[in-house]
């Protein structure tokens, strides 16, 4: 019996990957190299510092820890400028309706995101009231596929992991949910997220009553 839903943010509720891409690309360009939108796929679900390490590797650029901190901060300033301007129109199809359905069914909701900017994004899109608990990059030390983010969500909701279901678009996130002993709904393609209990194209293709079959 599922009693709580834990949602990843980027790729499940909103598509902030495009803004991450624009900001990281600008940084790479300032450092004298470029990377493709295909490369950007590898940054989904990965923390800010890990993303920077990968990008510097692609450009063959070496930096000191202090320089890395400055670069990550510079990128985040541009990123925050863009997400400040987000509106409810940017909620992914079906996400708000599904969050409403979850609430109406009496289930609990938590956010389980790697982002340190999740509060701002939920506020700008008007989704903050739908979450009982927010677990994000500000309170988590181990990145997905480590289950910490989702286990902290379950703990804060006071619901056993076995009674939680995670909604994730990244392979590392599906693995994290599994490692935490939770059910998982993959959002995206079955080729990549095959490890999930069910894979759907988006939340518009999912209904609360489908949780009964898990």
- Partner in contact with 40, chosen from Mg ion, ligand B16, none, beta carbon below 5 to 8 Å by kind: none
What's the min distance (Å) between Cβ of 193 and Mg ion? 11
- Partner in contact with 114, chosen from Mg ion, ligand B16, none, beta carbon below 5 to 8 Å by kind: ligand B16
Q: Is the dihedral of CA 107, 110, 112, 113 positive or negative?
A: positive
- Catalytic residue flag (residue 195): no
- Partner in contact with 137, chosen from ligand B16, Mg ion, none, beta carbon below 5 to 8 Å by kind: ligand B16
Cα–Cα distance measured from residue 194 to residue 184, given in angstroms and rounded to the nearest whole number: 11
Cα–Cα distance measured from residue 61 to residue 71, given in angstroms and rounded to the nearest whole number: 12
Peptide bond connecting 60 to the previous residue in cis, omega within 30 degrees of 0: no
Cα–Cα distance measured from residue 180 to residue 177, given in angstroms and rounded to the nearest whole number: 5
Among 3, 6, 7, 10, binds Mg ion (CB under 5 A): 10
169 binds Mg ion (CB under 5 A): yes
Alpha carbon distances (Å) from 82 to 19, 45, 124, 146: 7, 19, 11, 29
186 binds Mg ion (CB under 5 A): no
Q: Which of residues 73-112 bind Mg ion (CB under 5 A)?
A: none
Residues forming the active site: 8, 10
> Which residues contribute to the site for Mg ion (CB under 5 A)?
8, 10-11, 45, 169-170
């Amino acid at each position: 019996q599922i009693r709580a839903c834990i949602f990843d943010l980027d790729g499940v509720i909103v598509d902030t990957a495009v803004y991450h891409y624009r900001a990281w690309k600008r940084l790479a360009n300032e450092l004298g190299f470029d990377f493709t939108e295909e490369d950007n796929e590898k940054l989904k679900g990965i923390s800010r510092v890990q993303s920077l390490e990968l990008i510097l590797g692609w450009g063959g650029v070496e930096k000191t820890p202090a320089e890395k901190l400055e670069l990550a901060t510079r990128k985040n300033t541009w990123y925050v400028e863009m997400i400040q301007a987000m509106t409810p129109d940017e909620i992914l199809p079906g996400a708000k309706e599904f969050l409403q359905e979850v609430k109406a069914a009496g289930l609990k909701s938590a956010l389980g995101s790697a982002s340190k900017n999740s509060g701002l994004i939920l506020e700008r899109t008007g989704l903050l009231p739908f979450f009982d608990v927010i677990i994000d990059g500000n309170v988590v030390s181990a990145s997905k596929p480590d289950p910490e983010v989702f286990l902290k969500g379950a703990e804060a909701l006071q619901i056993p992991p076995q009674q939680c279901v995670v909604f994730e678009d990244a392979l590392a996130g599906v693995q994290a949910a599994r490692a935490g002993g939770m059910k998982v709904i993959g959002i995206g393609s079955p080729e990549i997220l095959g490890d999930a209990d069910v894979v759907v194209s988006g939340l518009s293709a999912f209904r609360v009553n489908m949780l009964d079959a898990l």
